[in-house]
């Protein structure tokens, strides 16, 4: 609960903080790594740092959290915090690290805003920070407890049992356990963090959606090669695709992620684009394994059929589900050899398909795609609470809330991917 003393101070200073929070976040990370270089090993994604997306996501989260407290001082925005807590748990973040973040963040606030940070202002924003931090610590404690682990024991070594070239740019890794420890079951739609040693000795973490239901011995995820295209190429994705081979070992976290398949018995609609098919593949695999009879609709957009990753597995699973339907959209024309119910040219257009009533919707793909599909669904009368979306990487949609009014349900987000 935001105190009556701090509320007017936050109201008065939030516009100034919001206008400068991108710079605050940039200074924060630079100072943090200067003071604690060890955090660059195994915790932070330096690719996101280099392109600025992590700074933007932090800025958006803090400002959205403060705005939500002003809107309802007695509540914290649970959906906003849920994704962050799951991401932190997958990285093994411990409560003590919030003290480190606090000290460096408030250094950056004072560095950017200078004399505007009076003792009264500092105290009010300190209250906001610890409200957010303690809420996250409590959620993360619950996540660790539910898994029966501590932050330092979320990690485990797995062996690459199989490596499958799905498309020219996407490779599936099927991992096999190498010890006698119990494999904690994943929920449909969750992800794991993979810690990958880089040539300079620094471990880089990346999150990858699980693409197949657990069998007690294996876990499976897919990696898309991130090409340069004028920007730095993905150092982790290219190393995994080019260098890691069958028999090699990788360190993976337990599965986490709060965007998971609803088990209430409603019809399910999956809408994905590109590599956004990966969490949908995991959910479809779970449905097939469970012998589900739910009505399922898969809507997928891609460049062309050759680019449709995991298409063999996905369509096998769909065809094993009674009454399931598939529609695909290809930018390069409506041509397909796949056993689908509809092939369409161009971008996904929901006017081309019939949607079941009372369904739960799951979106994954580039942000513009998800924003467009979500808007189209709401225009067709779908309740925002029935739409979940999954973000790969830092959640920049949260940052968009600062400038673009969006229904409250947009606080719902999902699993990242490296």
Residues taking part in catalysis: 98, 140
- For 120, 306, 381, 392, 400, the CA distances from 367, given in Å and listed in that order, are 38, 23, 21, 9, 11
How many angstroms separate the first and last alpha carbons of the chain? Answer: 35
Residues sharing a CB contact under 8 Å with residue 180, sequence separation 6 or more, in sequence order: none
364 close to 280: Cβ distance less than 8 angstroms: yes
- Cα 391 to Cα 370: distance, rounded to the nearest angstrom: 9
Q: Cα separation of 412 and 418, whole Å?
A: 20
The whole-angstrom separation of Cα 414 and Cα 398 is 11
Task: Give the contacts of 290 (CB within 8 A, at least 6 positions apart).
Answer: none
In this structure, the strands spanning 249-253 and 155-165 are antiparallel
DSSP letters along 189-245, please?
T-EEEEEEE-TTS-EEEEEEEB-S---SSEEEEEEE----TTS---HHHHHHHHT--
Query: Using an 8 Å Cβ cutoff, are 65 and 132 in contact?
Result: yes
As a whole number of angstroms, the distance between CA 336 and CA 395 comes to 33
Token pair recorded at residue 271: 């809408």
Q: How far apart are CA 256 and CA 250, in angstroms?
A: 17
The residue written with tokens 């009505």 in the block is 295
- Which tokens in the block code for residue 348? 């996904």
What Å distances lie between residue 56 and 2, 47, 199, 246, 403, CA to CA? 24, 13, 28, 37, 13
Burial 97-135 (b: 16+ CB within 10 A, else e): bbeebeebbbbbbbebbeeebeeebeebbebbbebbbeb
* Residue 339 structure tokens: 């056993």
């Amino acid at each position: 609960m935001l105190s009556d003393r701090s509320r007017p101070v936050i109201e008065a200073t939030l516009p100034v903080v919001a206008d400068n929070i991108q710079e605050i976040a940039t200074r924060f990370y630079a100072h943090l790594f200067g003071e604690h270089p060890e955090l660059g090993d195994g915790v932070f994604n330096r690719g996101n740092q280099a392109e600025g997306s992590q700074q933007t996501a932090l800025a958006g989260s803090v400002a959205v959290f403060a705005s939500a407290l002003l809107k309802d001082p007695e509540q914290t925005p649970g959906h906003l915090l849920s994704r962050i807590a799951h991401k932190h748990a997958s990285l093994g973040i411990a409560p003590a690290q919030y003290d480190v973040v606090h000290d460096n963040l408030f250094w950056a606030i004072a560095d950017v805003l200078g004399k505007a940070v009076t003792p009264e202002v500092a105290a009010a924003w300190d209250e906001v920070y610890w409200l957010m931090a303690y809420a996250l610590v409590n959620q993360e404690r619950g996540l660790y407890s539910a898994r029966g682990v501590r932050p330092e024991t979320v990690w485990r070594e797995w062996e690459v049992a199989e490596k499958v070239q799905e498309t020219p740019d996407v490779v599936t890794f099927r991992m096999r356990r190498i010890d006698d420890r119990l494999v904690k079951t994943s929920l449909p739609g969750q992800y794991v963090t993979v810690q990958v040693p880089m040539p300079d000795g620094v471990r880089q973490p990346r999150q990858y959606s699980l693409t197949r239901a657990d069998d007690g011995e294996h876990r499976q995820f897919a990696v898309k090669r991130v090409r340069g295209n004028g920007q730095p190429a993905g150092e982790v994705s290219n190393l995994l695709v080019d260098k890691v081979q069958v028999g090699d070992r990788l360190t993976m976290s337990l599965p986490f992620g709060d965007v998971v398949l609803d088990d209430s018995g409603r019809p399910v609609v999956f809408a994905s684009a590109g590599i956004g098919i990966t969490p949908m593949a995991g959910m479809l695999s779970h449905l097939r394994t469970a012998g589900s009879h739910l009505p399922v609709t898969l809507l997928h957009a891609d460049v062309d059929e050759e680019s449709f990753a995991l298409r063999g597995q996905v369509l096998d699973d769909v065809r094993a589900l009674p009454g399931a339907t598939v529609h695909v959209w290809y930018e390069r024309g409506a041509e397909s050899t796949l056993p689908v119910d509809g092939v369409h040219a161009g971008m996904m257009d929901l006017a081309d398909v019939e949607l079941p009533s009372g369904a739960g919707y799951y979106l994954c793909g580039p942000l513009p795609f998800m924003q467009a599909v979500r808007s189209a669904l709401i225009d067709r009368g779908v309740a925002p609470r029935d739409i979940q979306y999954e973000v790969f990487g830092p959640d920049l949609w949260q940052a968009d809330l600062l400038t673009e009014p969006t229904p409250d349900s947009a606080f719902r987000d999902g699993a990242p991917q490296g």
